Amino acid sequence: MISAGFTTSPTDVTVCEACWKDPVQAVRTTPLAPHRDLLCTSCAAQGHPVRVELFPPLGVYRLTRTRVSRGKHRNPGHPEP
């Protein structure tokens, strides 16, 4: 659901989370997700997804459970033999 009437907190972003250019003018919420997307009106109307989530479950480098289980991203430092 998209709405233009919303309240912001001091930690909310002020720039659209999809285009990163325009100021936030609308909020998109979904019943299954506990978060909300702060968007400009054009990105909200066109249904653009957010570009990045700040703290997704596996980090900002798009690590999946498969990549982690392969052992390439287990520990920082040099690869193990």
DSSP conformation letters of 6-57: ----TTS-SB-TTTSSSBP-EEEE-SS-S-EEEE-HHHHHHTPPPS--SS-T
The one-character DSSP state at 5 is -
The confidence band for 25, taking pLDDT boundaries of 50, 70 and 90, is: very high
Under 8 Å between Cβ of 17 and 35: no
Domain boundaries, the chain: 1-76
Is residue 62 over pLDDT 60?
yes
Q: What's the pLDDT band for 39 if we cut at 50, 70, 90?
A: very high
Percent of the chain with pLDDT over 70: 64
**CA-based Rg of the chain, rounded to a whole angstrom?**
17
When pLDDT is averaged across residues 24-35 and rounded to a whole number, the result is: 83
Q: How does strand 26-29 pair with strand 36-39?
A: antiparallel
What average pLDDT is seen over the chain?
Answer: 76
Residue 60's pLDDT is 52
